[in-house]
Structure 1
Amino acid sequence: MTDSAVPGAYPQGVKLGVDVGTVRVGVAVCDRDGILATPLRTLDRNAKKNTDVAILAKLAVELGAVEIFVGLPRTMKGEEHASARMATEYAKLLIGKLFEAGSEVPVRLVDERLSSVTAHRNLHQAGMSSRDHRKVVDQVAAAGILQHAIDMQKARGTDVGSRVSADLPPGPTGSGDRAAPAVNTHSAQRILHKTEGYSEPGQQ
């Protein structure tokens, strides 16, 4: 489902970018003004227990994230295959974990056709050996996904990507509404502080 374009209709604040892989999941964050996306961390994918999804949902709540962008892998022809279905299912799982945490942060799928390729190139240009790439490449790819999304939001003056919906149980009133969770300000400031001063490889 894609939201209709309404000028200025996109949230302002901290946002997360997610690069989903079969082994690792990269996470990136942007500042409250939506200027720069920076790599944040890499999670080990646990398809059986989905512990990584729970960690990501908790992270979003602690940071007070207003939106999460999950990369949707497409072929150069714009086709969607197994990896795209995996990203979509991951986004739905994330919505469920957010709901359990008392959050209704919107999760949107955005095109990530060349994010991994660009991430590897940036790391190579930064002088990092190919052997060390896999330690950070997923979070750098996530930063590329998020940067593209926030840049497009500003350029178009509206939200981008496709919002993901999931079948969730109704809230206490039966309407599906839930109170917004309290933000752990200390944790959010600590995590954001770690990202200050970071420049993506190749960007000085």
Structure 2
Amino acid sequence: MRRGVRLGVDAGSVRIGVARSDPGGILASPLETVRNGKGDIDRIVALAAENEAVEVIVGLPTSLSGREGPAAGEARRFAARIARRLPPGFVRLFDERLTTVTAESGLRERGVHGQARRKVVDQAAAAVLLQAALDAERLTGRPPGEIVRGDT
């Protein structure tokens, strides 16, 4: 298993949640919410540098049956835009089914409601995504998801 900080990115149409792992790749924590649009890729690349990340995991939204729809296509294009700015093999796509639902539920259970929840739900979803990827890597001994090439 590779050691080093990993970033998890949950891209939505308005906001992009970003999470980071500890250097051992054991635990994911919410990091930041980035506004989707101008400058978003710049900020994600900067966060990767600031955190000395060794990998960026981008959520791939699929249906419960595993099919990819329009949102998955958007996620693939978004991940490719990030990959163009980082070293080859640095960006991976990982199945993010139910991450936002899981994050919303966890925040509700902790008593975070309304405006406060909207401010952090994207970060929490990114943390759920990243934690699932870290756990999958620990279980299989293989890097999670699929490598994104910047030329797609």
Q: So what's the TM-score if we normalise by structure 2? A: 0.95
Query: Contact 2:99/2:128 (CA < 8 Å) preserved in 1?
Result: yes
Which contiguous aligned blocks of 4+ residues in structure 1 show a shift greater than 4 angstroms? none
Equivalent of 2:146 in 162, 166, 187 = 162
Cα offset for 1:34? 1.1
1:27 match: 18
5+ residue gaps in structure 1?
1-9, 169-204
Distance in 1 of aligned mates of 2:85 and 2:41: 7
- Matched to 1:78, the amino acid is G
Cα offset for 1:132? 2.6
| Higher gyration radius (CA) | 1
Cα offset for 1:68? 0.8
Query: Contact 2:89/2:147 (CA < 8 Å) preserved in 1?
Result: no
Query: What is the correspondence of 1:38-117 to structure 2 with a 5 Å cutoff?
Result: 38-46=29-37, 49=38, 51-98=39-86, 103-104=87-88, 106-117=90-101
Identity, in percent, stands at 44
| Per-residue Cα deviation, 1:167-186 (whole angstroms, up to 9, x for no partner) | 29xxxxxxxxxxxxxxxxxx
Distance in 1 of aligned mates of 2:88 and 2:121: 29
- What's the C-alpha RMSD, in Å, of the aligned pairs? 1.4
Cα offset for 1:131? 3.6
Q: How many residues in Structure 1 have an aligned counterpart in Structure 2?
A: 152
Distance in 1 of aligned mates of 2:71 and 2:145: 17
Cα offset for 1:77? 0.9
Give the SS at the match of 1:137.
helix
5+ residue gaps in structure 2?
none
Query: Contact 1:65/1:105 (CA < 8 Å) preserved in 2?
Result: no
Equivalent of 1:149 in 115, 133, 138 = 133
Task: Confirm whether residue 128 of structure 1 aligns to residue 112 of structure 2.
Answer: yes
Give the SS at the match of 1:71.
strand
Structure richer in strand, relative to its length = 2
